[in-house]
A and B are shown apart, each in its own frame.
Chain A
């Protein structure tokens, strides 16, 4: 689960990590009030107004503006709130900005990168730092990998002070800033572990002209599997940032990801679902979605799946691919027929059922009176998708 910058900063600040002071606002009036308050607290007259959307590249898209005084904040917040912000990570239509973060502008001496993530090769958490702050870390890794320093954390002993120091030295910190930087790294790592993060990225971390080490931006993702023990974090989910169809699917316990193609698919199991997407492409189509209905594939879940797939107007055909292992194909077939009867399906429907009682399942589908192309082998299903697409093209 991704968090907004302001949420990430709240989590980090409450864990003692030095972050740029700022408060989130949903209206222009709130933004103005926040600026006044920040001015009273810190005496600052220069502010940053930052659009709060999950996608990166907000600055380039015009979602981050410097503002002079309270009036400046009023003007910039008015411009940014409600805008459709387009970045390289949003769709072409952009993402609506519903919140802005008002923060004190900072006099920057130098920018750095600090990130914590899980390293799948060593099965340990890794802390990565770089002097190339403000740049995408993937780009640094590609162009100048020697500029990334890493420390792996052995779970048996946890992160130790010498490791944090090593990273701070590696970044070239000295004197009081060195102490601040190593403390920053230690506290960031603690926040990462305590909140079951999969990613905690500070880009940039800055050294201010006044000699302070602080986080100017923050990106945090939480492990979905760990949300059961973080009720407070669960409340931070922002469904406005998610595709409405994906939100609806999750309410039915379906795992759906919308894609750009023309052939919808419904499959049991994530691996088989990906393989089904791949075979749609090999059959001459493009997958319109990923959809895992899970082990059960009952009439209810299949019906919900059909409804969600068909809300995507680009879908020209649907392939259902169920490998019935423990679940019997005749039961799945009955469910598919019931669902197809309830949902008006105007596009070609191909159903492949394989596994226990596959022939019986096929017979139920064929005798249902519905227009369903059936298959037992994966190969046959691909051929029938191909045939359906060719017929549509004529």
Chain B
């Protein structure tokens, strides 16, 4: 068990033959991910990285049984790529692309939801289940197999957390980078729900940041439904209001979305709040080793 991706993942890469698509597909294959096909409109019928290339996602589904898609398509075309994957019946869609207009994502979010698919991202590093599958761009060598679920809005900060966990002897069940955009397919609460239901996950490390109210929503869920321990860090306690901190969604607007509010909500909900990002692994160790 694990969440979203595992040994049964049959991956189709959209934007397969581009520079990014090629590089990361090689890395995913090297990790042992079952990359079954690629899609590049106009290049159908050719081969790339020893895998068949199709013109459409639907062809990749019918010919190769693809059940998961990862998207490396430029921002102007990425919303269309997500819709195509959902329409073709793909149930787990991971969109790496950064810079998709929010207006496009409104339509995409609701369509994907209606199709009953999981969208992870956009503007995210992907999903990795150690020992089973890597879908996205996370650096594989920092991971180890284990029972800690990791969910984060950030890329490199996810790696930081995973690296600390591995060093402190805590492997991961699955790590999910949900992305830094205002509209994302999988929110904290969705990932927490999946981790709560996953038999292999024993505790969750959640890395939030300023902006929006997704962490507060997660706090509600933790309070009402979550039985597994949650450790939470929120980045941006020192960020000024009204300024966007890199991610499109990382902005304190109208006094809402501060790290302080989020820490408070999570603490009240019963999560273990980690205020120092260098002590994520150490805090997990302290609590789980004595439990």
Contact = CB atoms under 8 A, between A and B. Distances in A.
Interface of A: 89, 118, 120-121, 123-125, 137-138, 141, 154-156, 193, 196, 198, 223-226, 228-229, 255, 257, 259, 261, 267-275, 277-282, 286-287, 290, 292, 323-326, 354-356, 377-379, 381-382
Given A196-B101, A281-B237, A325-B159, A269 B212 contact: no
A118 B237 CA distance: 24
A224 B188 CA distance: 25
A193 to B, nearest CB: 7
A155 B110 contact: yes
Given A268-B156, A271-B156, A274-B209, A118 B102 contact: yes
Given A138-B254, A272-B156, A274-B239, A120 B249 contact: yes
A228 B75 contact: yes
A224 B248 CA distance: 9
Nearest to B256: A138
Interface stretch (B44-52, B85-93, B138-146, B283-291): B138-146
Nearest to B213: A121
Interface stretch (B3-11, B54-62, B224-232, B272-280): B272-280
Contacts of B183: 118, 120, 123
Contacts of A268: 156
With a 10 A CB-CB cut-off, give which of B99, B238, B240, B277 has the most chain A CB atoms: B238
B156 A325 contact: yes
Interface of B: 27, 75-76, 99-103, 105-107, 109-110, 137-139, 141-142, 152-160, 163-164, 180, 182-183, 207, 209-210, 212-214, 217, 233, 235-240, 242-250, 254-255, 259, 275-279
Contact of B238 (A123, A277, A356): A277
Q: Considering the complex of A and B, which 10 residue pairs feature the smallest CB-CB distances, nearest first?
A: A271-B154, A270-B246, A269-B156, A325-B139, A271-B157, A226-B101, A274-B235, A275-B277, A378-B278, A272-B156
A89 B240 CA distance: 12
Nearest to A281: B238
Nearest to A229: B76
Main secondary structure of the interface of A (DSSP, over half): mixed
A138 B241 CA distance: 13
A117 to B, nearest CB: 9
23 contacts: A123-B106, A123-B110, A138-B255, A196-B102, A225-B102, A226-B102, A228-B76, A229-B101, A257-B243, A269-B155, A270-B180, A274-B235, A274-B236, A274-B239, A274-B245, A275-B235, A277-B236, A279-B276, A282-B276, A286-B238, A354-B163, A355-B159, A355-B163
A89 B214 CA distance: 27
B246 A273 contact: yes
Given A120-B212, A290-B243, 8 more contacts: A120-B214, A156-B110, A257-B245, A268-B156, A271-B156, A271-B157, A324-B139, A355-B159
A355 B142 contact: yes
B254 A141 contact: yes
Nearest to A142: B255
B238 A280 contact: yes
Nearest to B105: A123
B157 A326 contact: no
Given A356-B141, A379-B279, A274 B250 contact: yes
Contacts of B105: 123
A372 B240 CA distance: 29
B101 A278 contact: no
A278 B217 contact: no
Contacts of B27: 326
B216 to A, nearest CB: 10
A271 B209 contact: yes
B240 A259 contact: yes
A270 B27 CA distance: 23
Given A287-B238, A326-B27, A118 B245 contact: no
B159 A278 contact: no
